[in-house]
């Protein structure tokens, strides 16, 4: 309903305006009547109106003064002036001040005033639609500019371009100043992969969106800047001045509203757009300090070496002796000592990870000697060795997990040399080895060997140390590793060949065991072959 307020000091005029026009039937609501401008303003304060019908000459506050206030406080309100024949000068003044129309009180016709109100209502509706469309268009343009700017900055951060290439891009998009100086901060969500997989958020995209909103709100509080979502739980922040209080607030807000922890890599110097890529690499390198100390959350840029010259070389004979000795305490002490030596170096985490992978490969040799492989060892704490070494965020996490896994593996090697499985368990294993590419179910396997599903599950776990489905997954992943080394097969084809109808499920299980997705594993395997002259 279009709301109407009547303002006139003559009671008969107010009465006729109220009663002679069927307001409600025509979509209007009379919200009240006032005797002068002061009363009208008091009513408008509590109930703004769409149309005000006002006399010009009134005591206390006349129509001209009332209009002046309405134009300032409620600019959307429309005004129709009620005038007498001798008020022509006032009417002209009122129209100049923005009155929408006028009518002579002594000669007014109800239908004429109603039509004027209807015309005003139509104009108002057209204007509302126009403004809504303009707002929507402005919002879309702002979003487009924001998206374009974020994409441009992401490209500048991730790719090293020439000054000429950067100039060409900046000429095309005028919303960036190439002379502007920035501080660059890299933001990392701690334990990102684990949180993304535990399904606390509905999707990885929603997870990233939630953290981006938190960071954006804090960024506004400290004067604004550019927030760019980079990849895999990483963000970049560009701003003119850096306040460590802002970083504290971001960590606090992320912990409170999303229950996640953040770490920051910070570039010391101000940089221009031309140097974004180099600065981002520095910021990411700074974050690598957290690998050596799980308590560090604010790191300023420094250089780390990608060579292993400062790291003690892997002494295969020494580690062989420790593993063969089977003394867990001695092995743990050696692991801790080696870890402490690594903390004193200035190499990148990737160099350190490669050193620990060498220890895994040594265990692989020990397992191969008894007809087993590293994948046959049951998982420890639900994690697998290659995944932990490649993806653990801190050296502490690697060591903590590795100490438990080595005990498990040494015991597994010892038991495997004398273990003899029951014939039913061997039958289940043979069935899985032959039919892994089908949609095998535990219930079907149990039926075929003549056991209840629950009993077979308990028996298999007791004898092998793992669940039937875990054993099936390992068999499938072993075949997947073989197939991935052949570039003629597509990923979805391999997924189907090993019994997964859904490629996403295959990729998820593969990464859980290998620590990398199938395509990354293939690239690494093919590069390794090429390096050794096998293709």
3-state secondary structure of 278: helix
pTM over 0.75: no
Closest CA to 500 of 528, 465, 476, 469: 476
Q: Is 472 exposed, middle or buried (0-12, 13-18, 19+ CB in 10 A)?
A: buried
DSSP letters of 326-342?
Answer: T-HHHHHHHHHHHHHHH
Task: Tell me the C-alpha to C-alpha distance, in Å, between residue 464 and each of 134, 279, 419, 445, 471.
Answer: 68, 51, 9, 16, 9
2-12 burial: b if 16+ Cβ within 10 Å, else e: bbbbbbbbeee
CATH code: domain 2-128 is: 3.40.50.2300
CATH code: domain 423-531 is: 1.10.10.60
Among positive and negative, which fits the CA dihedral 299, 304, 308, 311? negative
pLDDT of the chain, 535 residues: tens digit per residue = 899 999 999 999 999 999 999 999 999 999 999 999 999 999 999 998 999 999 888 888 988 899 899 989 999 999 998 887 666 777 788 888 888 888 888 778 899 999 999 999 999 999 888 888 888 877 776 666 666 777 778 888 887 666 676 677 666 665 566 778 889 999 999 888 778 777 666 677 788 888 999 999 999 999 888 899 888 789 999 988 888 899 999 999 999 998 999 999 999 888 887 788 888 988 888 888 888 876 777 777 766 666 666 677 788 888 888 888 878 888 888 888 888 888 887 788 888 888 899 889 999 888 888 888 888 888 888 889 999 998 888 888 899 999 899 988 888 888 777 667 788 888 999 999 999 999 888 999 999 988 999 999 999 988 888 889 988 988 999 899 999 999 899 999 999 999 998 898 899 889 888 888 999 999 888 876 665 554 3
Strand order in 51-55's β-sheet? 28-34, 2-7, 51-55, 78-83, 101-104
DSSP 303: -
Q: Is 204 exposed, middle or buried (0-12, 13-18, 19+ CB in 10 A)?
A: middle
Please state, as a whole number, how many other Cβ atoms lie within 10 Å of the Cβ of residue 456: 21
Tokens found for residue 433: 């080895």
> Which helix (H) or strand (E) is 393 found in, with range?
none
Domain limits, the chain: 2-128, 163-300, 316-416, 423-531
Superfamily of domain 163-300 in CATH is Reverse transcriptase/Diguanylate cyclase domain (3.30.70.270)
Q: 98-107, long-range: CB within 8 Å, 24+ apart, which pairs?
A: 98/67, 98/71, 99/67, 105/13, 105/55
């Amino acid at each position: 309903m279009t709301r109407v307020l009547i303002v006139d000091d003559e009671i008969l005029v107010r009465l006729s305006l109220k009663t002679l026009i069927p307001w409600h039937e025509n979509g209007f609501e009379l919200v009240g009547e006032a005797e002068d401008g002061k009363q009208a303003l008091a009513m408008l304060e509590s109930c703004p109106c769409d149309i005000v019908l006002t006399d010009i000459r009134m005591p206390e506050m006349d129509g001209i003064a009332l209009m002046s206030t309405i134009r300032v406080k409620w600019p959307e309100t429309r005004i129709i002036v009620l005038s007498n024949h001798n008020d022509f000068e006032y009417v002209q003044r009122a129209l100049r001040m923005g009155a929408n129309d006028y009518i002579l009180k002594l000669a007014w016709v109800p239908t004429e005033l109603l039509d004027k109100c209807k015309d005003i209502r139509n104009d108002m509706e057209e204007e509302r639609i126009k403004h809504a469309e303009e707002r929507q268009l402005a919002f879309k343009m702002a979003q487009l500019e924001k998206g374009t700017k974020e994409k441009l900055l992401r490209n500048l951060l991730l790719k090293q371009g020439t000054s000429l290439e950067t100039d060409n891009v900046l000429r095309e998009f005028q919303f960036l100043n190439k002379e502007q100086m920035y501080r660059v901060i890299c933001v990392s969500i701690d334990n990102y992969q684990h949180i993304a997989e535990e399904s606390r958020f509905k999707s990885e995209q929603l997870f990233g969106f939630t953290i981006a909103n938190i960071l954006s709100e804090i960024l506004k509080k400290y004067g604004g800047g550019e927030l760019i979502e980079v990849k895999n739980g990483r963000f970049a922040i560009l701003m003119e001045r850096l306040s460590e209080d802002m970083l504290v607030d971001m960590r606090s807000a992320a912990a409170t509203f999303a229950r996640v922890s953040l770490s920051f890599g910070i570039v010391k110097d101000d940089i221009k757009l031309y140097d974004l890529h180099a600065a981002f690499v520095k910021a990411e390198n700074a974050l690598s300090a957290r690998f050596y100390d799980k308590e560090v959350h604010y790191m300023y840029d420094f250089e780390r070496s990608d060579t292993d010259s400062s790291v003690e070389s892997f002494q295969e004979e020494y580690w062989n002796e420790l593993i063969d000795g089977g003394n867990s305490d001695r092995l743990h002490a050696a692991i801790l000592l080696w870890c402490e030596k690594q903390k004193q170096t200035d190499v990148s985490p990737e160099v350190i990870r490669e050193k620990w992978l060498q220890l895994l490969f040594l265990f692989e040799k020990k397992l191969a000697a008894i007809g087993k492989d590293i994948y046959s060892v049951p998982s420890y704490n639900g994690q697998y060795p290659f995944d932990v070494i490649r993806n653990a965020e801190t050296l502490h996490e690697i060591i903590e997990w590795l100490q438990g896994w080595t005990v498990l593996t040494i015991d597994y090697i010892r038991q495997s040399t004398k273990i003899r499985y029951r014939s039913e368990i061997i039958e289940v294993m043979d069935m899985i080895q032959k039919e892994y590419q089908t949609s095998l179910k535990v219930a079907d396997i149990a039926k075929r060997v003549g056991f209840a599903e629950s009993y077979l599950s308990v028996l298999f776990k007791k004898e092998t140390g793992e669940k039937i489905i875990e054993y099936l997954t390992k068999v499938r992943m072993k075949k997947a590793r073989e197939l991935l080394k052949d570039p003629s097969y597509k990923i979805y084809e391999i997924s189907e060949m090993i019994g997964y109808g859904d490629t996403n499920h295959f990729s998820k299980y593969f990464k859980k065991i290998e620590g990398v997705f199938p395509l990354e594993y293939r690239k690494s395997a093919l590069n390794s072959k090429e390096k050794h002259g096998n293709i």
